[in-house]
Amino acid sequence: MSISIGIHDLSFATAEFVLPHTELAAHNGTEIGKYHIGIGQESMSIPGADEDIVTMAAAAAAPVVARHGSDRIRTVVFATESSIDQAKAAGIYVHSLLGLPSATRIVELKQACYGATAALQFAIGLVRRDPAQQVLVIASDVSKYELDSPGEATQGAAAVAMLVGADPALVRIEDPSGLFTADVMDFWRPNYRNEALVDGHESINAYLQAVEGTWKDYTEQGGRTLEEFAAFCYHQPFTKMAYKAHRHLLNYCGQDTDNDAVSAAIGRTTAYNTVIGNSYTASVYLALAALLDQADDLTGKAIGFLSYGSGSVAEFFAGTVTAGYRDNLRTDANRAAIARRTPVDLAGYRDLHERSFPTDGGDHATERHTSGPFRLAGISGHKRLYQAR
């Protein structure tokens, strides 16, 4: 008998500060409609001086561990493209901050924004091998582009933590998956740069090519028909990309691209990304959180997931929402994570954007900005120092 495996719990965290796009528009003379309507973004999360992918990841994962305990968690998979170390997995810091058992494997995965989906699929394989185990999957990223660059308005920061296990309380992940890889230079960040490089036109084309490629493979592997899906969660580098991608899929399948039909399939998935900004690996699962928190009863309904990571790797797969899922949502906490952010003005944002640690290996403390449960206290001897508040 096949085992039902999927997302048992989902929690997210974001940064301390928020920059409204009205501030950015006033600075660069952009008509605000270009942001609010053109790319579908209203604001973006900005990390404080004492926040990073680890503090957000720990804040996202702590409620999951508090609810379920850690006795069954034998693996933590941390997906990010904002890595803080070329050797040590960021998840090891999270393991320490949360007090997880020593009998745990930790690994960090990287493939642009696709990494969390790879982590989810790896987790499913581990649970299938031993259904008594659970896997903690964390996606945490800070999206950062150069000041006054075309990508600046799409920045953001967030972490999503998912507990993957048998008999999931939220979403059962189905076989098969549709896969697609192409060697393209649409978005990349060499080791010597803090900010990413992006070819915007090429990135959109590569994303749409991946939509076609994954769907073609998904159908050839015996997947569901388009009509069977109640909603679709796309990776959202900016929320209008989800609409663009879904219209492209409908066109590819010879379906009507009526605005109402597209909005019905996509609309509820963009609520959190619209105000948080691009969170790279976390974005498609923020879309899931927004959908589950807002939609009418989805029990037994199929959801399509399109995970895209520049460079590029993509995957299309399906999940079925389980009975009783509403009893396990974190809707109030999710909305509170967004509402708690402190607005920052343009000067404050630009100051935070340009900060970086010295590379001399000395003692460098960070300012106390975050009101969250964990903070990056500073560095000493090239070592990052974290604290639970």
Q: Which are the contacts of 130, defined by CB distance < 8 A and separation ≥ 6?
A: none
**What 3-state DSSP class applies to 114?**
coil
Closest C-alpha among 53, 100, 105, 56 to residue 76: 105
Burial class from Cβ neighbours inside 10 Å (0-12, 13-18, 19+) for residue 306 reads buried
Q: What is 165-220 written as a DSSP string?
A: EES-SSEEEPS--EEEE----SEE--TT-SS-EE-HHHHHHHHHHHHHHHHHHHHH
Sheet with 342-343, side-by-side order of all strands: 43-46, 17-20, 342-343
The one catalytic residue in 113, 246, 248, 315 is: 113
Closest C-alpha among 95, 50, 1 to residue 377: 50
What is the number of H-type helices and E-type strands within the chain?
Answer: 12, 18
* Enclosing H/E stretch for 164: strand 156-166
* Alpha carbon distances (Å) from 305 to 28, 231, 259, 284: 35, 9, 20, 8
Q: What angle do CA 206, 85, 277 make, to 5 degrees?
A: 45
Query: Please, where are the H alpha helices in 253-318?
Result: 259-266, 271-276, 283-294
Q: Which phi-psi region, left, alpha or beta, contains residue 153 (left: φ > 0; alpha: ψ -120 to 50)?
A: alpha
Cβ proximity of 76 and 44 under 8 Å = no
Query: Please, where are the H alpha helices in the chain?
Result: 21-28, 33, 53-68, 90-98, 115-129, 200-220, 239-252, 259-266, 271-276, 283-294, 331-339, 346-354
The one catalytic residue in 8, 21, 51, 81 is: 81
Is 16 annotated as catalytic? Answer: no
CA distance 127 to 252: 35
The distance of Cα 379 from the centroid of its chain, to the nearest Å, equals: 27
Is 81 annotated as catalytic? Answer: yes
Closest C-alpha among 354, 356, 348 to residue 20: 348
Task: Please give the positions annotated as active site.
Answer: 81, 113, 235
